[in-house]
């Protein structure tokens, strides 16, 4: 017995004496304090803690001395300010007005706290940051009741607690509702607990993994297969401010062309030219407002990029001129693969310019996609982007207004590009492992910059399937090859809401579903929802039935027309919200968690698909064949959009549903600008801007914005902007004097008041709701119920401040 005990003790000490396969930073051995930075050497590593702002702290950590700083995602620089930095024998402290960073010295660990000592986020004791080979992981203590939201284009529930996610851009044709990963990588999430909110952006482009308590009850973590531990910690009282700080780092959208916010019609594929023109003419004949038609890969000659199939499209410039005259803009698909074919102009010029990615032995990498065996431009090199920018002028000269960047994960048949393919990475060559996730970001950068150079007075529309953090600077994104299924429709909403939390305001999904054949009711519901998403495109695949609005019968056509009509009336509201996104980073589609972060009901799977469209609308999407469904109204008061009946917030209600009407509500105190119906943004609405004001108990400001919708003149002050403030305590609506060098296109303002008693001191007339949404309302009548008390007054759109008393 004694011998057995001795044996096991010997075995234990033998194993313990061996080198640990997990390496930690160990004890801090040296510290250098700078005005906004702390440089640290540990037993096994090197760290730098940088204060980017009072609310943003950057943490870098590596086994080797830190390399020269570089990021494709981050374009923001640290603000100049003076945090308080001190140290003693046990710890280092960095203090700002917003938070306290405490760095333990033995062992190295980081904790973030509020100024009054509440723990926001902390390294898990005993684990912290560590390496297993080249893989680097940071483990964070999982707080009681902590929720996790965001992380970009990720499937699953709004609250990501209990799950893990991989970031590796993937061609995910017909993906399932829980499949991971899919197309885009945005390694930024928001943690929520005990009335606190924080964001973590892990800027590492290697394959990474985020674990929010999957298979453990101790920690959340994030890791990458290589590179540094490099993350930004963001703390604010409001999630909206976290998004603003994150987009201060990674950039915000430039204003898109107005036409790109209109309805777009697409399928895989419309050809030949006669079919494209037939679709356009049918849209006009059936009075379905539309601004764009998209051409898929069949517009090319044998799928070769920067070519046109001469039989199908003998005169592309002429066709695009005809479409433009009808009020349509053309978007074409572009894939990165350049066919290996002697005599093919783009292939030959690519070889001559030496812009293709290569194996480690210098041979051009070849992968198979639509045209066959292809080479691929290296968008991480300046000469690769320059070559691409020159090539896309081919489309600009043909009258194409938009570029749809597809297959840019990079997708190849087999979906397994070798890791020994080398990318330039701005003169610092790296392998495919590090370049894969940023490839699409640099492709859309080249597309955007190429079109901006080719058409300096016209904003392009750039769309992408894949991307990395910062993609919002160049492009819109859509959620890829979805399915014509009810759960996919609702998943698309969660994907776009998550993208919005992750700094990407311009997103969309294929209305109707890309794969499979949806039912008429599904299409009707989907196109209703589409009126309240940023990018509004119907699309379907090559082996599916037609999926234009008229393909599902007269009733669905009428529903589609009604909601597309509504979209066009709401363009002043929508465009103003895009302006807001360009200055603050806030999304157009907003999960209810954005403003109701600590309300447990918004994370309930029954209600997690509800969202705000801008600050004013509450959209409640449901499967198309549901007859009854519960809805949750957040705090405040909510008006039924169709009849002005009032609902009190912070409660549930069972709704009776119909195929004809999407549940839509308006937040109290909202100011919603609308215009008259147009068939295309190339048309001018009437000279009256309708301002819908909803009575409420809270003060509210809406910033109305307009410009020419197509040029960059707004960057030099050619815009019209007006702050509008409803103050119920003062009983006023104040329209501030407009700013900007342009005049409004609206000569008159018509104030439309919802929920107010008749105002005797103003000459107002009670009227029915202007242009009802649907003829298929629950009452079976185009006229809303009698309780829809709406009043109006019309007055000149003057340049000075206007105050209107509402008492």
Nearest 5 degrees, angle CA 38-CA 41-CA 44?
140
The token duo for 298 is: 């069949």
Nearest Cα to Cα of residue 26 among 107, 142, 135: 107
DSSP 8-state symbol, 793: E
| 3-state SS class at 369 | strand
Q: How many C-beta neighbours within 10 Å does residue 793 have?
A: 16
Residue 629, φ and ψ in degrees, nearest 5: -160, 145
Angle, helices 571-584/239-250, rounded to nearest 10 degrees: 70
Residue 237 burial (10 A CB sphere; 0-12, 13-18, 19+): middle
Which residues have a Cβ under 8 Å from the Cβ of 87 and sit 6 or more positions away?
Answer: 31, 33, 93
The token duo for 624 is: 């198309």
Sign, CA dihedral 149-155-156-161, equals: negative
The tokens 């206007």 sit on which residue?
802
Q: How many helices (H) and strands (E) does the chain have?
A: 13, 49
The token duo for 14 is: 């033998």
Alpha helices (H) in 502-550, listed in sequence order:
520-530
Which residues have a Cβ under 8 Å from the Cβ of 372 and sit 6 or more positions away?
Answer: 339, 340, 341
Nearest 5 degrees, angle CA 155-CA 160-CA 163?
85
CB 646 within 8 A of CB 638: yes
Q: Using the CB atoms, write b or e for 84-99: b if 16+ within 10 Å.
A: ebeeeeeebbbbbebb
DSSP-assigned beta bridge partners for residue 749: 689, 795
Beta strands in 43-156 (DSSP E): 46-53, 56-62, 84-87, 91-95, 100-105, 108-113, 119-122, 129-132, 135-141, 147-150
Cis peptide before 181 (omega within 30 of 0): yes
Nearest 5 degrees, angle CA 779-CA 785-CA 790?
145
DSSP string, 143-159: -TT-EEEE-SS--S-SS
Residues comprising the chain, all counted: 807
Dist CA 57 CA 51 (whole Å): 5
Dist CA 705 CA 582 (whole Å): 12
CB 288 within 8 A of CB 366: no
Which residues have a Cβ under 8 Å from the Cβ of 703 and sit 6 or more positions away?
Answer: 576, 579, 580, 721, 722, 723, 724
List active site positions.
Answer: 406, 409, 481
Which residues have a Cβ under 8 Å from the Cβ of 17 and sit 6 or more positions away?
Answer: none
Alpha helices (H) in 286-410, listed in sequence order:
316-325, 345-353, 382-391, 393-397
The torsion angle over the Cα atoms of residues 726, 729, 730 and 734, rounded to 10 degrees, is -10
CB 206 within 8 A of CB 226: yes
Dist CA 787 CA 792 (whole Å): 16
């Amino acid at each position: 017995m004694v011998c057995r005990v001795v044996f096991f003790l010997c075995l234990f000490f033998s194993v313990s004496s061996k080198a640990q396969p997990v390496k930690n930073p160990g004890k801090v051995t040296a510290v250098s304090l700078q005005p906004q930075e702390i440089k640290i050497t540990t037993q096994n590593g090197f760290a730098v803690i940088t204060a980017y702002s009072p609310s943003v702290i950057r943490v870098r950590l590596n086994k080797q001395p830190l390399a020269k700083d570089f990021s494709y995602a981050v374009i923001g620089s640290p603000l100049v300010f003076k945090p308080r930095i001190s140290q003693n024998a046990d710890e280092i402290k960095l203090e700002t007005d917003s938070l306290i960073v405490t760095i333990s010295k033995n062992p190295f660990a980081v904790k973030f706290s509020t100024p009054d000592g509440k723990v926001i986020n902390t390294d898990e004791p005993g684990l912290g940051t560590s390496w297993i080979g080249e893989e680097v992981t940071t483990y964070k203590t999982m707080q009681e009741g902590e929720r996790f939201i965001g992380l970009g284009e990720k499937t699953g529930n709004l609250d990501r607690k209990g799950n893990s996610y991989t970031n590796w851009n993937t061609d995910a044709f017909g993906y399932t509702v829980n499949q991971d990963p899919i197309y885009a990588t945005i390694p930024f999430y928001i943690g929520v607990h005990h009335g606190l909110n924080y964001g973590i952006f892990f800027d590492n482009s290697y394959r990474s993994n985020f674990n929010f308590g999957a298979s453990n009850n101790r920690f959340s973590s994030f890791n990458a297969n290589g590179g540094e531990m490099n993350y930004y910690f963001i703390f604010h009282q409001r999630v909206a401010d976290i998004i603003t700080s994150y987009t201060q780092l990674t950039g915000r959208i430039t204003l898109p062309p107005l036409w790109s916010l209109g309805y777009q019609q697409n399928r895989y594929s419309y050809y030949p030219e006669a079919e494209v023109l037939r679709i356009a003419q049918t849209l006009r004949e059936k009075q379905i407002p539309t601004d764009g038609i998209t051409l898929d890969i069949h517009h090319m000659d044998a799928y070769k990029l920067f070519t046109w199939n001469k039989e199908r499209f003998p005169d592309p410039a002429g066709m695009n001129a005809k479409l433009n005259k009808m009020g349509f803009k053309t978007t074409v698909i572009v894939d990165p693969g350049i066919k290996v074919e002697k005599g093919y102009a783009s292939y030959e010029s690519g070889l001559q310019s030496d812009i293709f990615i290569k194996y480690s032995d210098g041979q051009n990498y070849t992968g198979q996609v639509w045209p066959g065996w292809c080479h691929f431009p290296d968008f991480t090199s300046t000469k690769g982007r320059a070559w691409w920018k020159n090539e896309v002028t081919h489309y600009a000269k043909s009258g194409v207004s938009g570029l749809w960047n597809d297959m840019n994960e990079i997708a190849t048949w087999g979906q397994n590009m070798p890791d020994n393919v080398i990318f330039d990475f701005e003169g610092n060559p790296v392998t495919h492992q590090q370049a894969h996730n940023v490839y699409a970001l640099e492709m859309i950068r080249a597309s955007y910059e190429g079109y901006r150079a080719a058409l300096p007075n016209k904003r392009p529309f750039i769309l992408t399937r894949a991307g990395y953090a910062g993609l919002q600077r160049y492009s819109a994104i859509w959620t890829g090859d979805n399915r014509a299924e009810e759960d996919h429709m609702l998943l698309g909403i969660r994907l776009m809401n998550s993208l919005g939390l992750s700094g990407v305001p311009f997103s969309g999904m294929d209305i109707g579903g890309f794969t499979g054949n949806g039912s008429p009711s599904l299409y009707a519901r989907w196109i209703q929802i589409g009126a309240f998403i940023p990018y509004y495109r119907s699309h379907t695949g090559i082996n599916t039935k037609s999926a234009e609005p008229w393909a599902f019968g007269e009733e669905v056509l009428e529903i589609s027309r009604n909601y597309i009509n509504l979209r066009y009336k709401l363009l002043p509201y929508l465009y103003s919200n895009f302006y807001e996104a360009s200055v603050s980073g806030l999304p157009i589609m907003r999960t209810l968690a954005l403003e109701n972060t600590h309300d447990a009901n918004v994370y309930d799977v029954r209600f997690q698909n509800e969202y705000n469209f801008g600050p004013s609308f509450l959209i409640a999407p449901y499967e198309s064949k549901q007859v009854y469904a519960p809805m949750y109204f957040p705090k405040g008061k909510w008006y039924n959009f169709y009849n002005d009946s009032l609902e009190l917030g912070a409660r549930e209600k069972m709704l009776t549903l119909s195929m004809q009407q999407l549940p839509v509500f308006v937040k109290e105190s909202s100011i919603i600008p609308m215009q008259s119906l147009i068939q295309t943004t190339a048309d001018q609405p009437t000279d009256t801007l309708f301002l819908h004001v909803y009575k409420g108990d809270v003060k509210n400001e809406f910033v109305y914005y307009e410009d020419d919708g197509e040029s960059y003149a707004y960057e030099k002050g050619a815009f019209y902007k007006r702050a509008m403030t409803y103050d119920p305590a003062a009983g006023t609506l104040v329209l501030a004097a407009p700013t900007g060098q342009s005049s409004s296109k609206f000569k008159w303002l018509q104030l439309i008041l919802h929920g107010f008693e008749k105002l005797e001191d103003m000459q107002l007339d009670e009227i029915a709701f202007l242009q009802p949404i649907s003829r298929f309302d629950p009452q079976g009548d185009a006229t809303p119920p009698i309780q829809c008390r709406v009043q109006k007054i019309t007055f000149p759109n003057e340049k000075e401040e206007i105050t209107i008393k509402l008492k």
